[in-house]
Structure 1
Amino acid sequence: MNRHVNNITGRLSLRSPQRQSLEVLARVCEILPLKKLNRQDAEDAEKKLKEAFPQVTDFEREFPSLCFALATGVGKTRLMGAFISYLYLAHGIRNFFVLAPNLTIYNKLITDFKERTHPKYVFQGIQDFAINPPTIITGDNYESQAITLFDQPDDCKVNIFNISKINSEVRGGKSPRIKRLSEYIGESYFEYLSKLPDLVLLMDESHRYRASAGVRAINELKPILGLELTATPFVETPKGAIPFKNVVVDYPLARAMADGFVKEPAVVTRKDFNPAGMSNDDLERMKLEDGVRLHEQVKVELETYARQTGQKIVKPFVLVIARDTTHASQLLDLIRSETFFDGRYKERAIQVDSSKTGAEEDKMIQDLLAVEATTSPTEIVIHVNMLKEGWDVTNLYTIVPLRAANARILIEQSIGRGLRLPYGKRTGVNPVDRLNIIAHDKFQEIIDEAKRPESPIRLQQLVLDPSQLGQTMVTVISKSTIQEMLEDQPQRLQDAETTNSGSASVPPRRSGSIFTPQEQKVAQVAYEVIRSYESQTDVAPTLASLQNSEVQSKVVAEVKRRLGSQQLEMFTESEQIAEVVAKTTEHVVMGTIDIPRIVVIPKDEVRCGFKPFQLNLTSLRFPVPSDELVAQKLRTGEQESISVGRGGIEEQRLEDYVVGGLVDFDDVSYDDHAELLYDLANQTVNHLKSYLKDEFEVRKVLRVHQKPISDFIHAQMLEHFWEESTGYDVEVRKGFTQLRTSAYTASANDSVLDYRQPPADKSKITQYLFNGFHRSLYRLTKFQSDPERKLAILLERDAMRWFRPAKGQFQIFFKQGHEQQEYQPDFVAETTDTIFMIETKRASELNDSIVLAKRDAAVQWCENASKYAKQHNGKEWKYLLIPHDVIAENMSLIGLAESYVEGVK
């Protein structure tokens, strides 16, 4: 191993994190058998790998797949070349399949892997490839390259495909073009690849397409190994970031910055003014102009440094991030106009987005790939979501983000595009080593984000007391007891309990099975069939209806069909299967609570608006700002002042600043409210004129402070809001729903506690897992407070069954500001005649606006669920909002319900 690792490291001049990654791959190859694995072999290999790399908790695919998370700028493309070189030289692997996230990176990868004279050629220096380089097969030429598959069987072959193109081909359940029959090879190229005994899959920027339909199709290739490379090892979802579970190497941005492999990012704003108050148009113009002014200064600094040191001259450029293609076109028109820096950038800006096709797209790609060349005229690149990752230019020095984003997104995506150093290392000259992010409206937000200990752009700080030093954290998967009973194989129950199976802190599941091993298979299939009836409300409106003889007959027939003739031979009598299905159904009914899936739809269009009113402007007063920029380095906090000239555009009327800010709100329509908007704007302008010296100062205040002025006015408008609706239709899409799986983080050293005993330190109750339940539908759970634990004691005594819902179980939504947020109650408990949805809160929080909004949404849901249940002889739903301080073990559930039930408001 060391011989090949040392040879490749020296030949490719790998950096320390790249070498570490290559060493890890070599160790992985010692553990994993590099061949196609059956299920048992795959499970054994995964177990061995987890022992060597405890941070890996799941391959997340049907084949061994590992993620190498390296910060932007460290060199993931070169690392792919190192991986391929090592697997070929050390293990004789000859077939590789490389996935690119989009067309831009796809074309770049082809150049980096194919063009031997290119400065970024990934195999430069590998002696075995100097004479006989790998054959590069792409998504565009694989049909014509088929002849090389047989004429050169021992050569290394690298297939490079664009996953975004495959995604477009598989829409609507279609098969991708790669699956079509090839006359030359007698089968599809996809079938040919899937039969290869040594195919390795490499996924560049894998977080961009991890769960896409294209990747699911590619997974059918069943490679012997998957290698994912990304700088952001998590998937962004509306519910938050979901981290990868298969990260084997993690080299974050903080370390790359500290080790000097990337530029120092600095966020830039103007001195002595509050940028949050700018209108969108004026703020964009100011940021754009300030970015170009700073760019012109950096351009001089770079040339000066190059001439002083004899280095190559680096031509910098500005990256402008637009909201969408229309916005990008508007920005391009502005930059090319005579009013923008006297037309100096008319021929120096390009637009990069998906609006281009054919010859225009080809020219766009050529212009983009040439942006590093000193002969290229391009100094401003306007893009829309095409350059988030994988675009590894070194001469990007100024970023102007004009797309709405929070600080984290700006840091992890926008900053990442400009971190690479043009000379390969830091020079010690501040302008040469600095990346400027023009963020007038996000300056303090980014500074605050950078100061957080967990921020990706600074070294993390970790303070542990001696009692915590030996702790290892594990992820505990908590399935419902019915899932544990029916889904998992009996011999694998304990292994499936945690993602770190070496932990002894989680107690074994309830011993004993109600089914024999043969019956277990039937029960599992029956459970899958039963779940398919969730959405068949006309056949099975409730769980109890599953036990009707007609439904049971249908379930038995479907179970037999899915089992097939071979598995049916295990049973001597057909009645045996019917008995297992009946027993399975009984346990599903007893081990689940009827939770319908309810959707509320407006009957007709909802009409709304604002009544005319007189503004209260007494407290509205703002100062006037300057034109000096301040740049602050995000890692060190060092500040620097930069003087620039004035810029920006002016509205024709002062009132337009106010109206422009107000129409940005989702509930304000210019067409419907124009008269009211200008009346409010006129009131505001007259108020400002009453205390400011002249119209120039009024204009400047309106321009700079447009956002808080708009917020101030809009808050008063909401007090005069009206709405008309003819009503809503309530649809029940599912009569019942499966209980969702929960996941908890816990210490491997801590024992699971009995829920009847309070922890020694109640302030740390959220860290502990609890068990010992008999009526809970989950064996393990966590509590957010000790009153919740006490309530569990009551429910164990007074309820037939209860549980703490996992996120997404109910899909109840409430309005917070202009956004819809999901609400998940604390408990659900069923008695003989009622199902209770229960929320516990501190007494001081009971009148909080968010708590009340959640209550109203939940009460309405319970009302709709009760109406549905009444139609099908089900139980009524009631919502309880219970103060923490009234929960005690001597209380009863019925007593609490009588005092704290909430009705429709």
Structure 2
Amino acid sequence: MNRQVNAISGRLSLRPPQRLSLEILDRIMEIAPPGKEAVLGAQLAAIQSEFPTVADFERDFPSLCFALATGVGKTRLMGAFISYLHLAHGIDNFFVLAPNLTIYNKLIADFTPNTPKYVFKGIAEFATDAPAIVTGDNYEGTAVTLFDALLRCKINIFNISKINSEVRGGKSPRIKRLSEYIGQSYFDYLAGLPDLVLLMDESHRYRASAGVRAINELKPILGLELTATPFVETSRGAIPFKNVIYDYPLGKAMSDGFVKEPAVVTRKNFSPAGMSPQEIERLKLEDGVRLHESVKVELETYARESGKSIVKPFLLVIARDTTHAGQLMQLIRSDAFFEGRYRDKVIQVDSSRTGREEEEMIERLLQVEATSEPTEIVIHVNMLKEGWDVTNLYTIVPLRAANARILIEQSIGRGLRLPYGKRTGVMAVDRLNIIAHDKFQEIIDEANRPDSAIRLQGVVLDEAALGQKTVTVVSQTNLATKLGVKPQQATGSTTLAGQGQAQAFPKPEEQHVAKIAWDVIRKLENQPQLIPDIHSLKKPEIQAAIIKTVEEQRQPAQLELEGMTEKPDIAAVVAKTVELFTEQTINIPRILVTPKGEVKSGFKPFTLSLETLKYPAVSDELWIQHLRTHQTEVLALNRGGIEEVRPEDYVVSGLVDFDDISYDDHADLLYNLAAQTVRHFQTYLSKEETRKVLRCYQRDIARFIHVQMQDHYWEDAAGYEVIVSKGYTELKESAYTCSAAEPPMDYHVSPVDKSNMAKYLFNGFTRCLYPVQKFDSEAERRLALILDRDSLKWFKPAKGQFQLFYRHGADHLEYQPDFVAETADTIFMLEPKARNQMEDEIVLVKKEAAVQWCANASNHALSSGGKPWRYILIPHDEISTNITLDALAKRFGL
């Protein structure tokens, strides 16, 4: 395979379907090289020999369609195509077509350096010599620069809508008119280029238009089409494209986790009997808003827990017509609808407008993704169209009559993009909700049809649960609260725990100094040689340095400058802040373990266990049927039509996709394992049947083998060096989703519903470093009672507090211990576990990583007079309040 494919895939972090698309293009360039002199029929025959799904180019030049589901990343793939063609084949001229103004403007932004979604980010050659971007707005003024021999790569971005309108009006497109700059029309200039490649975004939108027929005259050497819907809607139904070379449908994108998981939502025990259509509509709308409010809280909680930016979701209401949309707008703005809370948070997109007015309205709607923009409800008559690349659509309320198939197709199309680019594992963050009380079963049945490309979840809302408003409770340390520090990005759903605590500094000017001192102390954690632990902050020379920095950063208040208020005693405030910091923090260093010298790793040869690997033969008829219907499993079978030379190559090709497997380092082992696999299948299948099975189930077979390889992984280094990068680390804030109506419980009292412990928030602690905590089990609550009695201070760490990782298979996963507690002579890391999990493989691997971390932390602490660390793994049934922490440490400490 061309090394540029590997390089570009890595630099642009291409997803598997994007990478496979690039591999297919690489193969096309080999078997059917494009060029002005190439024979169209011969090119089609060469491509059909390996990619039989391409029945016809459907154009006067070679044109191939890559059908990738919405949300997988078609724009990034365009950037990969251009990078590859330019770097690997020296092609310098590209023409990108957009179907409307919104996508046209988005493409210009995405191809412009230093923008958030720059498609060439990571391509070193373009970092120093970025492609020239010529647009439908500036080509006349910039055309003279196109003859600059130093310009290596030129990308033309044009909006087909403009060309269409001029052709329909009988006028020649402006691009075809004579340019005084170049002595010919810009169109003729492009048509005369020997290496023009045409890229068509959302090509289904303008495939049969007069404008595209005019574009045929550009005579590009190659056309690359990208769309999520490879068919043209006509009065006779949908007509599929004949030039699809790779199809990655929505069902596959869902199963691979590249988009949100769509779910159809109804109410528990819902019955429309006796309800008017208006009452059903009102109920769906209100339940949609209730679910939206719940999702908003879950998104904020996840963002705070993971340290990511907060995503503001919005709800889309699909109205029947513009009159209906206006009525809904009036209702939502009234006091009768959720006490008027959404009066200023709703916008109506008037679908009666067309052309430029519609485009401007879409541009306004795109702003709903910004957290600073207040809109949370959007009323629209038509579904979101291409170019609305919003990632924060989470709830859809369709109030327009339609059958189940139309509801599915229209409802999921625009709301599937993930806000963080990948699934998080948190259902509320990963799910798109479609409110369909009256169509629930019909939609579920339609989605479960054998020919459906997707499977929908069913979500049933409980009326009692719907009525409970939830909030995000932010639990920052008692220290931060005493110093008057506020959490960042506070929203209307944010509640700060422990607000009733007394302030350490009642005077505003002292609070200001304390906050500056707090920031200085937090930054000093990065100097472990100077300050190995929090107690070093009390050294006179360190306090003097803090005082000096605070004085330099402090801006005196105007009243102080005028002599009307006293200057605060900065030294005294700093001393008290340091004292509070050491009292209200447990000393947690940041530890890095790095290998010395060259590190070698790999996998030892072994014999696979293949008894359970029994795939049935794949028939030719089933194969053909799959290619026609685009069912999920076809993608693995077809793999874009690439035929491997040897059956073993299917296994090896699947294995090298894993990040921890290098072909160069493991080729012999990989082919040994592949040969074992091929021989296994040939014990009950013919050679041809074996090849089809390997092709069809390539990814699953590779995953099956990769899991077994992990048991034979080895790593060799000359030694390891323990580096303490921080002498102490700031305690991170925690965030929880809780019912707004239920205040925190006293942790001394066991809740009635112990099976659902995680829903409760507890307070009432004496020695906890946070005002509230959550527990996953009754045993954890009892352990908290012990720690609050027997330790000096304790807490449950937030995600990311320790940066402690363990190896599981090929992955390095973060381990967050359940409790940390400090006594007079020791700091404990505690992990309560169910008795039947004590010997679980993951528990043991975590234990090994934690014990090693504690050993490294102890060595660092003892070198500066600190306290050693110990790890305690405790069975749940051994935790009772009459047991002391000292007894638990003696019995279960490691």
What TM-score, normalized to structure 1? 0.53
**Deviation at 1:573?**
8.7
Paired position in structure 2 for 1:49: none
* Amino acid paired to 2:887: G
What's the secondary structure of 2:741's corresponding residue? coil
What's the secondary structure of 1:509's corresponding residue? coil
**Deviation at 1:833?**
0.5
Deviations 1:581-602 (A, max 9, x none): 1111111110111111112211
Q: Are 1:605 and 2:606 counterparts?
A: no
What's the secondary structure of 2:432's corresponding residue? coil
How many residues are paired up? 569
Instruction: Map residues 124-523 of structure 1 onto 2, 5 A cutoff.
Output: 318-320=66-68, 328=81, 354=120, 357-358=131-132, 360-363=153-156, 367=198, 371=203, 372=206, 373-375=211-213, 376-377=215-216, 381=224, 400-401=247-248, 407=255, 410-411=258-259, 420=385, 455-456=431-432, 458-459=434-435, 463=460, 465=462, 467-488=464-485, 499-500=492-493, 508-511=499-502, 513-523=504-514
Q: Are 1:530 and 2:489 counterparts?
A: no
Q: Are 1:872 and 2:864 counterparts?
A: yes
**Deviation at 1:823?**
1.5
Q: Distance in 1 between matches of 2:247 and 2:476?
A: 47
* Amino acid paired to 1:802: W
Query: Which among 601, 619, 623 is matched to residue 627 of structure 1?
Result: 623
Paired position in structure 1 for 2:393: none
* Amino acid paired to 1:484: T
Q: Distance in 1 between matches of 2:262 and 2:467?
A: 38
Query: Which among 729, 734, 751 is matched to residue 721 of structure 2?
Result: 729
Q: Unmatched 5+ residue regions in structure 1?
A: 1-235, 237-274, 301-314, 337-345, 386-393, 438-445
Q: In the superposition, relative to structure 1, how do residues 298 and 851 fare at CA in structure 2: closer, same or farther (>3 Å)?
A: farther
Q: In the superposition, relative to structure 1, how do residues 406 and 284 fare at CA in structure 2: closer, same or farther (>3 Å)?
A: farther
Instruction: Map residues 885-900 of structure 1 onto 2, 5 A cutoff.
Output: 885-900=877-892
The answer to whether the 8 A contact 1:477-1:497 is kept is: no
Query: Which among 666, 672, 683 is matched to residue 659 of structure 2?
Result: 666
Q: In the superposition, relative to structure 1, how do residues 466 and 396 fare at CA in structure 2: closer, same or farther (>3 Å)?
A: same
Query: Which among 731, 745, 751 is matched to residue 743 of structure 2?
Result: 751
What's the secondary structure of 2:156's corresponding residue? helix
What's the secondary structure of 1:487's corresponding residue? coil
Query: Which among 697, 701, 719 is matched to residue 693 of structure 2?
Result: 701
The answer to whether the 8 A contact 1:318-1:396 is kept is: no
The answer to whether the 8 A contact 1:755-1:771 is kept is: yes
Paired position in structure 1 for 2:536: 545
Deviations 1:380-422 (A, max 9, x none): 646799xxxxxxxx99988834999664754459999997499
The answer to whether the 8 A contact 2:471-2:738 is kept is: yes
* Amino acid paired to 1:891: I
Paired position in structure 1 for 2:848: 856
**Deviation at 1:331?**
9.6
Deviations 1:580-631 (A, max 9, x none): 2111111111011111111221112221233444444444432222224459
* Amino acid paired to 2:477: S
Q: In the superposition, relative to structure 1, how do residues 604 and 623 fare at CA in structure 2: closer, same or farther (>3 Å)?
A: same
Paired position in structure 1 for 2:441: none
Q: Distance in 1 between matches of 2:629 and 2:721?
A: 55
Query: Which among 568, 586, 595 is matched to residue 588 of structure 2?
Result: 595
**Deviation at 1:707?**
2.9
The answer to whether the 8 A contact 1:477-1:498 is kept is: no
Q: In the superposition, relative to structure 1, how do residues 573 and 639 fare at CA in structure 2: closer, same or farther (>3 Å)?
A: closer
* Amino acid paired to 2:601: C
**Deviation at 1:668?**
3.0
Q: In the superposition, relative to structure 1, how do residues 647 and 722 fare at CA in structure 2: closer, same or farther (>3 Å)?
A: closer
Deviations 1:14-71 (A, max 9, x none): xxxxxxxxxxxxxxxxxxxxxxxxxxxxxxxxxxxxxxxxxxxxxxxxxxxxxxxxxx
Q: Distance in 2 between matches of 1:560 and 1:886?
A: 53
* Amino acid paired to 1:757: V
What's the secondary structure of 1:362's corresponding residue? strand
What's the secondary structure of 1:751's corresponding residue? coil
**Deviation at 1:565?**
5.2
**Deviation at 1:730?**
1.4
Instruction: Map residues 717-866 of structure 1 onto 2, 5 A cutoff.
Output: 717-866=709-858
Q: Considering only aligned residues, what root-mean-square deviation do their CA atoms show, in Å?
A: 5.5
Q: Distance in 1 between matches of 2:490 and 2:710?
A: 50
The answer to whether the 8 A contact 2:67-2:249 is kept is: no
**Deviation at 1:816?**
2.5
* Amino acid paired to 2:746: D
Q: In the superposition, relative to structure 1, how do residues 875 and 699 fare at CA in structure 2: closer, same or farther (>3 Å)?
A: same
* Amino acid paired to 1:760: V
* Amino acid paired to 1:532: K
Q: Distance in 2 between matches of 1:698 and 1:462?
A: 41
Paired position in structure 1 for 2:552: 561
The answer to whether the 8 A contact 1:657-1:702 is kept is: yes
Q: Distance in 2 between matches of 1:618 and 1:412?
A: 35
The answer to whether the 8 A contact 2:475-2:771 is kept is: yes
What's the secondary structure of 1:594's corresponding residue? coil
Deviations 1:505-543 (A, max 9, x none): 967522364543332222222222222211122222111
Q: In the superposition, relative to structure 1, how do residues 650 and 789 fare at CA in structure 2: closer, same or farther (>3 Å)?
A: same
What's the secondary structure of 2:575's corresponding residue? helix
Q: Distance in 2 between matches of 1:405 and 1:640?
A: 12
Deviations 1:458-482 (A, max 9, x none): 4476645564453211111111011
The answer to whether the 8 A contact 1:279-1:661 is kept is: no
**Deviation at 1:718?**
3.9
Paired position in structure 2 for 1:690: 683
Identity %, equivalent residues: 38
What's the secondary structure of 2:602's corresponding residue? strand
The answer to whether the 8 A contact 2:648-2:675 is kept is: yes
Q: Unmatched 5+ residue regions in structure 2?
A: 1-12, 29-46, 99-106, 112-118, 121-125, 133-145, 147-152, 160-197, 229-237, 264-315, 317-365, 367-382, 388-399, 414-421, 437-457
Q: In the superposition, relative to structure 1, how do residues 754 and 290 fare at CA in structure 2: closer, same or farther (>3 Å)?
A: farther
What's the secondary structure of 1:606's corresponding residue? strand
Q: Are 1:580 and 2:580 counterparts?
A: no
The answer to whether the 8 A contact 2:654-2:702 is kept is: yes
**Deviation at 1:845?**
1.6
Q: In the superposition, relative to structure 1, how do residues 527 and 704 fare at CA in structure 2: closer, same or farther (>3 Å)?
A: same
* Amino acid paired to 1:529: V
Q: In the superposition, relative to structure 1, how do residues 328 and 874 fare at CA in structure 2: closer, same or farther (>3 Å)?
A: same
Instruction: Map residues 19-58 of structure 1 onto 2, 5 A cutoff.
Output: none
What's the secondary structure of 2:512's corresponding residue? helix
Q: Distance in 1 between matches of 2:714 and 2:478?
A: 49
* Amino acid paired to 2:432: P
Q: In the superposition, relative to structure 1, how do residues 481 and 821 fare at CA in structure 2: closer, same or farther (>3 Å)?
A: same
Paired position in structure 1 for 2:319: none
* Amino acid paired to 2:773: T
**Deviation at 1:669?**
2.9
Q: Which moved more, 1:696-705 or 1:833-842?
A: 696-705
**Deviation at 1:809?**
1.2
Q: Distance in 2 between matches of 1:484 and 1:738?
A: 14
What's the secondary structure of 2:641's corresponding residue? coil
